[in-house]
Structure 1
């Protein structure tokens, strides 16, 4: 899975919304930030970020996290990252106590 493709889809979708004037992402000190220019209220902007994230992550086992950093006039900065969930998704065969085979499956009941 190429994270750059996910970021490209995310930024492209974010820029397609009418309330967003311009959106771009930059990596500073290894931490990804998104810079969003918008005149819309912050709640609408955060909803647009969530929808664009969902669109970019569709079909992948990823999560995202968005944290507000600062704003100046109509430029808003968020720390945004895509990450893989920290849970076992397969059986390694070592009979671990948190093995995925031991989880209850609602489809088997």
Structure 2
């Protein structure tokens, strides 16, 4: 769980930096930047910058390409924050269960 929280923290700080540099007037902009980072980086590099720095990647439960809809569902739930704080015995967050993804270590 430590790697996941560290990756989330890295992504949140990066989103805040972009927010502060470009969108300081809008209160929701940092959340939108965070969501955009997830939607762009998960399908292209297999995870967010925080995931990659912590040695993790997002993949579908059955393997293969993650596609576009899984990151969309995963990100929408992750932005609510509560699903990320609820996990099962396999340590998969609720947002990953709904999206059919799993966060693995390299």
Q: TM-score, normalised by structure 1?
A: 0.35
Relative CO higher for 1 or 2, CA cutoff 8 Å, sep ≥ 6? 2
